[in-house]
């Protein structure tokens, strides 16, 4: 029984991370019908903002040397400004294009940012010592919970509550919900497209910065592709939950987290190295039976 509870805690922690990335993808898709794969590079750049560009192994810290509150604020500011810049320079001029063109633009931005990081920092992994005090595990009734998992679950809970409040109680949040339901009608009612889309990108940047810090605290390493796999799994989660549905994106993130941890726990040892392949197979099987996802958004036509 304790083993099952341990698996449950691990699954919630991993699902929390995927849920944050899924929500960031779902927000932008909801208002712009754009799957922004550059979200992975927002995460990577947020992590690399912590270190001096010229350092290689065990680098001295840049933003990471600041007090915790200032460090978090600085990383969030860097990634938010980056996401707003990519929206303004790369996506806004193509807003009237078809979804395939927007998708290609997303890949182009992603590859540009990825190679920019490699040019500045090189492609070698780096080690960063942030949040070492959180590596210790806390025991509850025989269940060991690392501090990093508690942090991830707590931060995700706070962000989910804040996002629900923002979307339901603030004018900008209500406008974003209206745009997600019917963008053209929302514009006719006075919703400013540039402002709503920029707000969606800004929130996605805040979430990317949060995931950056959580990944660095958990792993203690930086890699130029560190944001890639979380975004791929989060994209699967968004598809499972229902494209354009924020509750579906969060639900899908937790489902993918549960499936990943369960496979890691119950697969034979020889097959655990292929866990991700089994996750992909399950996603394909799910889409064959319910391609629209678990929660279907009423807005089914293309927008913007």
pLDDT in tens, the chain (304 residues): 557 887 888 899 999 999 999 999 989 988 888 889 899 999 999 998 888 765 554 556 667 667 888 888 999 999 999 999 999 998 988 877 787 888 889 999 999 999 999 888 877 888 887 766 666 667 776 677 778 888 899 999 999 999 999 999 999 989 888 887 777 777 778 888 888 999 999 999 999 999 999 998 888 888 888 999 999 999 989 988 888 788 888 999 999 999 999 988 888 888 888 888 888 888 888 888 888 888 876 554 444 4
Task: Answer for the pair 78, 45: CB distance below 8 angstroms, yes or no.
Answer: yes
In angstroms, the CA 292 to CA 134 distance is 40
Give the residue extent of every domain in the chain.
2-123+141-289
pLDDT at residue number 181 = 76
pTM over 0.85? The answer is yes
Residue 225 and residue 218: Cα distance in Å, rounded? 16
Full 3-state SS string of the chain: CHHHHHHHHHHHHHHHHHHHHHHHHHHHHHHHCCCCCCHHHHHHHHHHCCECCCCCCCCCECHHHCCHHHHHHHHHHHHHHHHHHHHHHHHHHHCCCCHHHHHHHHHHHHHHHHHHHHHHHCCCCEECCCCHHHHCEEEECCEEEEHHHHHHHHHHHHHHHHHHHHHHHCHHHHHHHHHHHCHHHHHHCCCCHHHHHHHHHHHHHHHHHHHHHHHHHHHCEECCCCCHHHHHHHHHHHHHHCCCCHHHHHHHHHHHHHHHHHHHHHCCHHHHHHHHHHHHHHHHHHHHHCCCCCCCCCCCCCCC
| Cα 244 to chain centroid, rounded | 15
Q: Which CATH class is domain 2-123+141-289?
A: mainly alpha
Q: What is the pLDDT of residue 302?
A: 44
């Amino acid at each position: 029984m304790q083993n099952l509870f341990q698996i449950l805690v691990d699954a919630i922690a991993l699902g929390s991370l995927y849920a944050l990335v899924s929500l960031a993808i779902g927000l932008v898709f909801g208002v712009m019908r754009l799957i922004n794969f550059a979200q992975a590079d927002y995460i990577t750049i947020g992590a690399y903002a912590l270190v001096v560009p010229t350092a290689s192994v065990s680098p001295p810290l840049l933003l990471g040397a600041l007090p915790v509150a200032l460090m978090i604020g600085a990383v969030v500011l860097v990634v938010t400004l980056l996401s707003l810049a990519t929206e303004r320079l790369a996506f806004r001029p193509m807003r009237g294009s078809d979804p395939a063109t927007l998708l290609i633009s997303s890949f182009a931005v992603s590859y540009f940012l990825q190679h920019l990081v490699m040019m500045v920092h090189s492609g070698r992994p780096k080690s960063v010592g942030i949040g070492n005090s959180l590596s210790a595990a806390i025991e509850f009734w025989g269940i060991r919970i690392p501090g990093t998992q508690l942090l991830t679950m707590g931060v995700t809970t706070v962000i989910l509550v804040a996002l629900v409040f923002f979307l339901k109680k603030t004018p900008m949040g209500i406008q974003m919900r209206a745009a997600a339901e019917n963008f053209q009608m929302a514009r006719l009612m006075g919703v400013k497209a540039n402002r709503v889309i920029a707000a969606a990108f800004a929130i996605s940047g805040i979430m990317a910065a949060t995931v950056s810090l959580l990944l660095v605290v958990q792993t203690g390493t930086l890699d130029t592709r560190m944001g890639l796999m979380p975004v791929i799994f989060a994209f699967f989660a968004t598809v499972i939950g229902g494209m354009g549905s924020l509750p579906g994106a969060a639900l899908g993130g937790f489902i993918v987290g549960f499936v990943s941890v369960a496979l890691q726990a119950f697969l034979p040892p020889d097959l655990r190295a292929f866990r991700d392949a089994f996750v992909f197979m399950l996603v394909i099987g799910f889409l064959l039976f319910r391609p629209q996802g678990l929660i279907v958004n009423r807005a089914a036509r293309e927008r913007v």
